[in-house]
Chain A
Amino acid sequence: MTEQTLLTAENLHLTFGETKALDGASLHVRAGEVVALMGPSGSGKSTLLHCLAGIMAPESGRVVYDGRDLTAMSDTERSTLRRGEFGFVFQFGQLVPELTCRENVALPLRLSGVGRREAHRTATSWLERLDVADVADKRPGQASGGQGQRVAVARALVTQPRVVFADEPTGALDSLNGELVMKMFIAAARETGAAVVLVTHEPRVAAYSNREAVVRDGRVREQEFAR
């Protein structure tokens, strides 16, 4: 265990009505590692991801990122952190349909104050890296599902985040396209040194991780991966 812990969830609890979504969930994510969160539907794995990413706040427990307590931050502080340090890939619906793929990838940079020309240049190089440069000037609706997800991966990585949160990133794709997305996504994340928290119910997707954590009834059973 040489890498340092970057992100920690400590004893998280969160209830939706009668349902205990998180019931004492804890997780450690080290810098640069890929952790797969697995578990049956309704086990709390997506809720845990949302809490880790500061999208949702737990009722009790702490989320600590790089020594900073996310649960104690203001909404503005959390948004700034998310924009600068985190990247997101979801199953679908994450690209702005009115913008071209290049503009979509450039968007996080533009929001962080990068000029248009430079943002577009960086976006283009990321589209090339994920082998979707040919859809750069198309709108997401004109790209295939697999291309769209690769554009989404480019957008998640364009700001060089330290953590990428991915919730069923290949959920809407067939095996071959899903595999291509995972291969390129994980290779790019490893190159940039980003840690990845990956929610998936597909074992073949989870197999791209360094280790898995099984979420069951709102708690986590971590499996260490000893190579």
Chain B
Amino acid sequence: MSVSFALLGLLENGPRHGYDLKRSYDDAFGRDRSLHYGQVYSTMARLLKNGLVEVELEPGDGPDRKRYAITDAGITDIEAWIGRPEKPEPYLQSTLYTKVVLALMTGRDASEVLDTQRAEHLRLMREMTHRKAQGDLADELICDHVLFHLEADLRWLELTTDRLDRLAAQIRR
């Protein structure tokens, strides 16, 4: 979903060829995974069908005679998407909650389940902190986003650890 908005957004500054779009996408967003050409063209086909982009044909032949341009409807769409907050995604809580409750029910060490998870969270936080120190401002912002989310999860893990006795009592009832 965000790929098509990203490609649409890249057209706002002017029409582009498919290969140019792919290159711009990879430069701006493709840190971990670059786009396939096929994905660019299938996304463009869909946006075209929905009237969010239009095609300008250039004279001659060859595969890249098509230049894509954003339509007014496309601009309205991208504007709405940028302005709309993302729905908070569920993280690991439900899976971990199940594990913790099962551990308590079966007499296992539930705090270890949480500590193991906590260590894993902190391991990734170290990795992000390290990556942040090596990178540019874009890396820093991306890593910070991950770090704040991991921190929130980690706080939840800590809080759950502190509440294990209560949870255990509730389960025993």
> A206 and B122: CB pair below 8 A?
yes
Residues on B with C-beta less than 8 A from A144 are: none
> B129 and A208: CB pair below 8 A?
yes
Does B26 count as interface, using CB distance less than 8 angstroms?
no
> B115 and A221: CB pair below 8 A?
yes
Tell me the smallest distance from the CB of A140 to a CB of chain B, in Å. Answer: 28
A contacts with B, residue count (CB < 8 A): 14
Does B145 count as interface, using CB distance less than 8 angstroms?
no
Residues on B with C-beta less than 8 A from A16 are: none
> B119 and A207: CB pair below 8 A?
no
B contacts with A, residue count (CB < 8 A): 19
Set B115, B125, B133, B162: member contacting A203, Cβ < 8 A: B125
> B126 and A209: CB pair below 8 A?
yes
Convert A210-227 into 0s and 1s, putting 1 for each residue whose CB lies closer than 8 angstroms to a CB of B.
Answer: 001010000001010100
Residues on A with C-beta less than 8 A from B133 are: 183
A residues with CB within 8 A of B: 40, 183, 202-204, 206-209, 212, 214, 221, 223, 225
B residues with CB within 8 A of A: 115, 118-119, 121-123, 125-126, 128-129, 133, 147-148, 150-151, 154-155, 158, 162
Known contacts A203-B122, A207-B147; 12 further A-B pairs (Cβ under 8 A): A183-B133, A203-B150, A203-B151, A203-B154, A203-B155, A204-B125, A204-B147, A206-B122, A207-B122, A207-B125, A208-B129, A225-B126
28 sampled A-B residue pairs with Cβ under 8 A = A40-B158, A40-B162, A202-B151, A203-B121, A203-B150, A203-B154, A203-B155, A204-B125, A204-B129, A204-B147, A204-B151, A206-B122, A206-B125, A207-B125, A207-B126, A207-B129, A207-B147, A208-B126, A209-B126, A212-B119, A214-B115, A214-B118, A221-B115, A223-B115, A223-B119, A223-B122, A225-B123, A225-B126
